């Protein structure tokens, strides 16, 4: 069995284990037998609470994983994930602005989509200069991201108390707000966006060899970069709209996938699998109250993401030596 | 001299010379509010500008900045975490957690940056670290609703609440940082001649790096204690300083400190002119100026990347 | 501090009722036996109607059950409703097997509303006021309708209004006086639409024009510390959410303020600050009981009388 197949099998097994844990475990655990026997409450909990929440966590995780991985490969930098280069910050600022103006958390959905799309357009417009180099895309995204994070903080300071703390909770990222409509739309977005990225996967890999080579192969580097960046940005915006800015999945999924299966061009599905696994894992942890308080999943991706990021950074250093 | 209070003029500067009991209201505004606010801006801006110049010289990376590298976010997390654990603390007690947080972040980002050849990697590592620290900060705030109120004002970076009593500890830190910066800059100049030559001249590579990092960490902590986690000052100031044509690292650090102080005060004053009467945090102006600056910089060099 | 006697004599109207809200209408089989309240401050509304819910959401602070004195006094010590903290978890709510889920001031999402509606009727916020824009009267009326205690809700509201108007009648001199409610940090002044300011308005006070202009209609704004004119109201109420009043005490311009010279400042301790901020049918009577004597002393025109608590807060030397 090749390393590639083994990697998929291992991640898939972990995901399957987590799925079973999510469906049957938790605090308190679900009674699957009763649900199958037709107990109405257990049935509703399984079919309408746990399943859509699970699907949402997987879809968001997969979307972030693919968006992050595609950007990292295209921009030739394992650190250039959408939450670092401003796409996530744009969607978050849009959500915070809409929440403040309309006074309700639900406004985050149109807000995040608008903010994410506008930011992505702005990043690409500003980075365009007779074409778009990966370096300027990353740096301009970074600069805009920092400006938008400050804007979000200002918006938060303008909100009345309860709305501000609920907005802060939204900005941590959570899968708690799930029904089949949300889960369905997000799955659709992930599927469409993923398909677009997969179509580009081969070309993204060729770009990594340098623009000149890509042009001789008959590829148009700039249009590839813009299409991939736009798709990634929309995937991120959709995730923020349904679950808030869940940190670090986009950052981590790609490197983990590439570490597991070091084969170019085929890493996107694995990144989706890893992202989905991270999403479900974080939501499993969110299912257990800490000191009587239910914490959003984003707290846990940050806690998993922190050490993992440091390991990744140190590995980078080792690679360079 | 710009401010919200009408009728305060140059004449009121005389209050600075009179004893505290003799001052009228305008005198109090000048001596006990605008003076500390201005000194705070000079201190924080200067410290960040100087720290930015040092870290840029050390890493030979024109994009390095204690704010962008996560050092300020580390200091901020240290402060918020200790307030969450111990409740409201006097500013003096916050120096230790600010230093601890700042240095931890600095070492983490240094672990990557020391070996990274691409200037971009260091900056992205810093941005990733900033994002991580920000996420941890948000988690702490969720656990403690009181922390949110304190955080909301301070996270943006502001000078309006600065009083002279709050400046003592940061001023001591900044003085120590500046004291370390002088020998650090000298050694950096020696290093700039090339590692081999520097060693031949007796300059100790490790000592130079440690000195510089210590100075950067202490300066950043001082700035965060005064004005919150401000990004971009340490990026923009050294760039402007280089434009004046200074040669040595020491001169660059000094001139950068000047530009940093000017930048922060400009942002603070701009906030007061745009919306007189209410507070617009200086951090907003700094971020807008700095972000725009970085974008313009990138666009200018778009087709000839470093 | 007694308001209308709760519980016992309040008879619930029978029969199911449909209540309109932002996402349609909810049919509640009144009176529900197992209510779950997801609203912040929702427990106060339920207790005011004489109902002990199966579970309720804690906002901030209070005792081990998340209750402040005004609501703790209404709940039997042996009553053991479930306290929900943190984000709303639909499954936790469903497992409580509620027959009514009240969420008018909770920030519940449409997805959570849809999912939970499969288990029990869910009442979200009404149309047009945002997640947290409803007044306590609107909230109480809605909960009263849903639980079949509309009459009781009317009584509670009428009783509080009666108390407010009798206070106002006894203090004709307050009419048209200016008042500021502020946080020490900044200072941050609350605008006309803030619930704390709304209560003072009902007592006859108004926001000073200088502050009103600066607020631009927002809930609150941070005043430039150099400006003191907007603070020169007839009375200033400083709130405390855990940071104390040191920032007020250390303001270098204090010496020149009329409110300081005339002793017109009120330092609201953490419990009174919470009572004013909860602005619930239980916390308002509590707040009035404690605030009115403080207002009387602050507004007596005699600089020598010291407002209770002001010396401890360091506002009076």
Question: B114, B111, B95, B112: which is closest to B218 by C-alpha?
Answer: B95
Determine the 3-state secondary structure of C100 from DSSP.
strand
**H or E element in which residue C294 lies:** helix C283-298
> Bigger pLDDT: B169 or B121?
B169
Tell me the backbone φ, ψ of residue C179, rounded to 5 degrees: -140, 150
| Cα–Cα distance for residue pair B121/A78, rounded to 1 Å | 9
Handedness of CA C122, C123, C128, C129 (dihedral sign): negative
Instruction: Using alpha carbons, list the distances in angstroms from residue C121 to A105, A120, A161, C103, C180.
Output: 21, 41, 28, 10, 41
Cβ of B16 under 8 Å from any chain A Cβ? no
Contact residues, B window 126-165, toward A, CB-based 8 Å cutoff: 127-129, 131-132, 134-136, 138-139, 141-143, 145, 148-149, 152-153, 155-156
| Cα–Cα distance for residue pair A250/C21, rounded to 1 Å | 38
Which of the four pLDDT bands, split at 50, 70 and 90, describes residue A263? low
pLDDT in tens, C20-54: 999 999 999 878 999 999 999 999 999 999 999 99
Smallest Cα distance from A34 to chain B, Å: 36
Question: B27, B2, B22, B1: which is closest to B12 by C-alpha?
Answer: B27
Q: Do C303 and C15 contact (CB within 8 A), yes or no? A: no
Cβ separation of B28 and C255 shorter than 8 Å? yes
Cβ separation of C85 and A28 shorter than 8 Å? no
Token pair belonging to B118: 């691409």
Among A243-257, A261-275, B159-173, B199-213, the range scoring the smallest mean pLDDT is B199-213
Q: Do B264 and C207 contact (CB within 8 A), yes or no? A: no
Q: Is the pLDDT of residue B306 over 70?
A: no
CA A147 to centroid of chain Cα atoms: 21
Instruction: Using alpha carbons, list the distances in angstroms from residue B210 to A313, B103, B107, B169, B222.
Output: 21, 12, 10, 23, 18
pLDDT in tens, A182-209: 999 999 999 999 999 999 888 887 777 7
Question: B172, B219, B170: which is closest to B58 by C-alpha?
Answer: B219
Q: What is the interface size between A and B, counted as CB pairs within 8 Å?
A: 156
> What does the pLDDT average to over B11-32?
70
Cβ of C214 under 8 Å from any chain B Cβ? yes
Residues of chain B contacting C183 with CB distance shorter than 8 Å? 149
ipTM, two decimals: 0.88
Instruction: Using alpha carbons, list the distances in angstroms from residue B189 to B58, B65, B174, B218, C212.
Output: 10, 19, 22, 21, 57
Smallest Cα distance from A89 to chain B, Å: 10
Smallest Cα distance from C299 to chain B, Å: 25
Cβ separation of A179 and C111 shorter than 8 Å? yes
CB atoms within 10 A of CB C75: 17
The whole-number pLDDT of residue B3 equals: 62
Select the residue from A71, A82, A148, A150 to test the B interface by mutation, using most B Cβ atoms within 10 A: A150
| Cα–Cα distance for residue pair B224/B75, rounded to 1 Å | 7
Convert chain A into a string of H (helix), E (strand) and C (coil): CCHHHHHHHHHHHHHHHHHHHHHHCCCCCCCHHHHHHCCHHHHHHHHHHHHHHHHHHHHHHHHHHHHHHHHHHHCCCCCCCCCCCCHHHHHHHHHHHHHHHHCCHHHHHHHHHHHHHHHHHHHHHHHCCCCCCHHHHHHHHHHHHHHHHHHHHHHHHHCCHHHHHHHHHHCCCCCCCCCHHHHHHHHHHHHHHHHHHHHHHHHHHHHCCCHHHHHHCCCCHHHHHHHHHHHHHHHHHHHHHHHCCCCCHHHHHHHHHHHHCCCCCCHHHHHHHHHHHHHHHHHHHHCCCECCEECCHHHHHHHHHHHHHHHHHHHHHHHHC
Helix spans in chain B (H): 25-28, 35-59, 71-86, 95-113, 119-143, 145-155, 168-192, 195-200, 205-227, 233-243, 249-274, 282-300
Cβ separation of A295 and C119 shorter than 8 Å? no
Token pair belonging to B149: 């109120």
| Cα–Cα distance for residue pair A206/B169, rounded to 1 Å | 55
Which of the four pLDDT bands, split at 50, 70 and 90, describes residue B260? very high
Count how many residues are written for chain B: 306
Cβ separation of C214 and B278 shorter than 8 Å? yes
CB atoms within 10 A of CB A123: 28
Q: Is the peptide bond before C31 cis (omega within 30 degrees of 0)?
A: yes
Q: Do B288 and B88 contact (CB within 8 A), yes or no? A: no
What letter would DSSP give residue C307? P
Which of the four pLDDT bands, split at 50, 70 and 90, describes residue C12? low
pLDDT in tens, C80-126: 899 998 889 999 999 999 999 999 999 999 999 999 999 999 999 98
| Of the partner residues B125, B136, B291, the one whose CB lies closest to the CB of residue A143 | B291
- Rg of chain B over Cα atoms, rounded to whole angstroms, equals 20
Token pair belonging to B116: 């990274």
CA A196 to centroid of chain Cα atoms: 16
Cβ separation of A165 and B123 shorter than 8 Å? no
Residue with tokens 């009144």: C30
Residues of chain A contacting C94 with CB distance shorter than 8 Å? 41, 44-45, 49
The DSSP string of B260-304 is HHHHHHHHHHHHHHHSTTB---HHHHHHHHHHHHHHHHHHHTTTS
Q: What is the interface size between A and C, counted as CB pairs within 8 Å?
A: 91
Which of the four pLDDT bands, split at 50, 70 and 90, describes residue A302? confident
Cβ separation of C83 and A176 shorter than 8 Å? no
Among B253-257, C2-6, C150-154, the range scoring the smallest mean pLDDT is C2-6
End-to-end CA distance of chain C: 32
| Of the partner residues A83, A168, A247, the one whose CB lies closest to the CB of residue B142 | A168
Cβ separation of A77 and B120 shorter than 8 Å? yes
> What does the pLDDT average to over A238-263?
88
Helix axis angle, C270-278 relative to C195-202, nearest 10°? 90
Residues of chain C contacting A179 with CB distance shorter than 8 Å? 111-112, 114-115
Token pair belonging to A182: 């949300």
Smallest Cα distance from A60 to chain C, Å: 16
| Cα–Cα distance for residue pair C215/C213, rounded to 1 Å | 6
Token pair belonging to B264: 């922060």
| Cα–Cα distance for residue pair A244/B234, rounded to 1 Å | 31
Contacts of C1 (CB under 8 A, 6+ apart): C70, C285, C286, C289
Which of the four pLDDT bands, split at 50, 70 and 90, describes residue C194? confident
Cβ separation of A248 and B63 shorter than 8 Å? no
CA atoms in the 13 A half-sphere facing the CB of B232: 27
* Closest B-chain CA to C254: B25
pLDDT in tens, A57-85: 999 999 999 999 999 888 888 878 888 88
Residues of chain A contacting B132 with CB distance shorter than 8 Å? 247-248, 302, 305-306, 309
Token pair belonging to A34: 């009763």
The whole-number pLDDT of residue B90 equals: 66
Which of the four pLDDT bands, split at 50, 70 and 90, describes residue B19? low
Q: What is the interface size between B and C, counted as CB pairs within 8 Å?
A: 72
Cβ of A221 under 8 Å from any chain B Cβ? no
CA C10 to centroid of chain Cα atoms: 24
| Cα–Cα distance for residue pair B155/B287, rounded to 1 Å | 12
Which of the four pLDDT bands, split at 50, 70 and 90, describes residue B92? low
């Amino acid at each position: 069995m090749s390393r590639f197949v083994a990697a998929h099998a291992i991640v898939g097994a972990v995901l399957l284990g987590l799925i079973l844990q999510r469906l049957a475990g938790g605090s308190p655990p679900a009674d699957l037998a009763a649900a199958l026997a037709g107990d109405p409450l257990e049935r509703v909990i399984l079919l309408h609470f746990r399943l859509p929440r699970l699907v949402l966590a997987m879809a968001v995780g997969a979307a972030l994983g693919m968006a992050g991985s595609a950007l990292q490969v295209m921009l030739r930098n394992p650190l250039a994930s959408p939450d670092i280069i401003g796409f996530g910050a744009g969607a978050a600022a849009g959500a915070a602005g809409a929440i403040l103006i309309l006074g309700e958390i639900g406004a985050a959905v149109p807000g995040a989509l608008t903010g994410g799309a506008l930011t992505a357009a702005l990043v690409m417009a500003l980075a365009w200069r007779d074409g778009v180099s990966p370096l300027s895309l990353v740096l301009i995204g970074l600069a805009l991201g920092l400006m938008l994070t400050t804007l979000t903080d200002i918006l938060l300071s303008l909100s009345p108390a309860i709305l501000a703390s609920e907005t802060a909770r939204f900005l941590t990222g959570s899968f708690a707000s799930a029904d089949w409509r949300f889960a369905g739309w997000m799955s659709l977005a992930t599927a469409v966006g993923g398909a677009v990225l997969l179509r580009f996967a081969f070309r993204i890999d060729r770009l990594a060899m340098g623009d000149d080579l890509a042009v001789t192969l008959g590829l148009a580097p700039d249009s590839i970069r813009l299409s991939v960046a736009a798709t990634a940005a929309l995937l991120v915006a959709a995730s923020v709209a349904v679950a808030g800015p869940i940190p670090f999945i986009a950052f981590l999924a790609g490197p983990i996938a590439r570490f597991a299966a070091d084969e170019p061009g085929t890493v996107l599905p694995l990144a989706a699998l890893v992202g989905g696994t991270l999403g479900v894992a974080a939501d499993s942890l969110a299912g257990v109250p800490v000191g009587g308080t239910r914490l959003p999943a984003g707290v846990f991706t940050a806690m998993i993401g922190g050490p993992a990021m440091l390991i990744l950074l140190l590995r980078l250093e080792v690679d360079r030596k | 001299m710009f401010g919200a209070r009408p009728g305060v003029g140059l004449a009121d500067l005389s209050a600075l010379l009179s004893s505290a009991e003799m001052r009228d209201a305008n005198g109090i505004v000048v001596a006990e509010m605008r003076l500390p606010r201005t000194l705070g801006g000079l201190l924080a801006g200067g410290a960040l500008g100087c720290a930015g110049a040092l870290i840029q010289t050390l890493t030979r990376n024109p994009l390095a900045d204690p704010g962008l590298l996560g050092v300020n976010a580390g200091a901020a997390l240290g402060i918020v975490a200790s307030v969450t654990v111990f409740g409201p603390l006097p500013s003096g007690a916050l120096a230790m957690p600010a230093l601890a947080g700042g240095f931890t972040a600095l070492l983490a980002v240094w672990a990557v940056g020391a070996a990274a050849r691409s200037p971009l990697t260091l900056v992205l590592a810093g941005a990733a670290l900033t994002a991580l620290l920000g996420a941890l900060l948000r988690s702490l705030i969720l656990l403690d609703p009181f922390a949110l109120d304190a955080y909301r004002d301070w996270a943006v970076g502001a000078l309006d609440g600065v009083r002279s009593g709050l400046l003592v500890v940061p001023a001591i830190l900044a003085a120590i940082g500046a004291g370390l910066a002088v020998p650090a800059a000298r050694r950096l100049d020696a290093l700039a001649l090339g590692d081999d030559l520097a060693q031949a001249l007796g300059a100790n590579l490790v000592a130079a790096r440690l000195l510089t990092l210590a100075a950067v960490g202490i300066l950043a902590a001082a700035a965060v204690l005064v004005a919150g986690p401000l990004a971009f000052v340490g990026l923009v100031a050294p760039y402007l300083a280089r434009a004046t044509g200074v040669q040595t690292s020491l001169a660059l650090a000094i001139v950068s400190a000047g530009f940093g102080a000017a930048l922060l005060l400009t942002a603070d004053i701009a906030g007061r002119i745009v919306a007189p009467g209410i507070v617009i945090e200086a951090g907003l102006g700094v971020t807008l100026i700095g972000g725009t600056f970085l974008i313009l910089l990138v666009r200018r060099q778009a087709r000839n990347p470093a | 501090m007694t308001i209308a006697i709760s519980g016992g004599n309040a008879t619930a109207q029978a029969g199911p009722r449909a209540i309109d809200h932002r996402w349609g209408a909810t049919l509640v089989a009144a009176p529900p036996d197992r209510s779950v309240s997801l609203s912040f401050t929702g427990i106060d509304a339920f207790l005011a109607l004489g109902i002990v819910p199966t579970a309720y959401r804690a906002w901030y602070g209070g005792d081990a059950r998340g209750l402040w004195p005004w609501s703790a006094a209404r709940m039997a010590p042996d009553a053991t409703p479930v306290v929900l903290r943190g984000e709303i978890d639909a499954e936790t709510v469903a497992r409580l097997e509620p027959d009514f889920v009240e969420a008018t001031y909770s920030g519940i999402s449409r997805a959570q509303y849809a999912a939970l509606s499969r288990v029990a009727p869910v009442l979200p916020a009404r149309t047009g006021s945002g997640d947290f824009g409803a007044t306590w009267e609107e909230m109480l009326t809605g909960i009263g309708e849903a639980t079949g205690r509309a009459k009781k809700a009317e009584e509670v509201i009428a009783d509080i209004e009666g108390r407010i108007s009798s206070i106002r009648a006894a203090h004709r001199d307050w009419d048209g006086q200016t008042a500021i409610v502020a946080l020490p940090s900044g200072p941050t002044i609350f605008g006309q639409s803030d619930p704390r300011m709304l209560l003072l308005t009902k007592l006859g006070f108004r926001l000073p024009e200088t502050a009103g202009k600066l607020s631009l209609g927002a809930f609150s704004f941070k005043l430039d510390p150099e400006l003191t004119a907007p603070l020169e109201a007839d009375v200033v109420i400083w709130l405390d959410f855990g940071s104390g009043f040191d920032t007020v005490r250390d303001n270098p311009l204090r010496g020149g303020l009329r409110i300081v010279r005339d002793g017109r400042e009120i330092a609201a301790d953490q419990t009174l600050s919470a009572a004013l901020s909860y602005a619930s049918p239980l916390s308002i009577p509590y707040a009035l009981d404690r605030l009115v004597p403080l207002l009387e002393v602050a507004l007596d025109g005699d600089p020598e009388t010291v407002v209770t608590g002001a010396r401890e807060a360091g506002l009076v030397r």
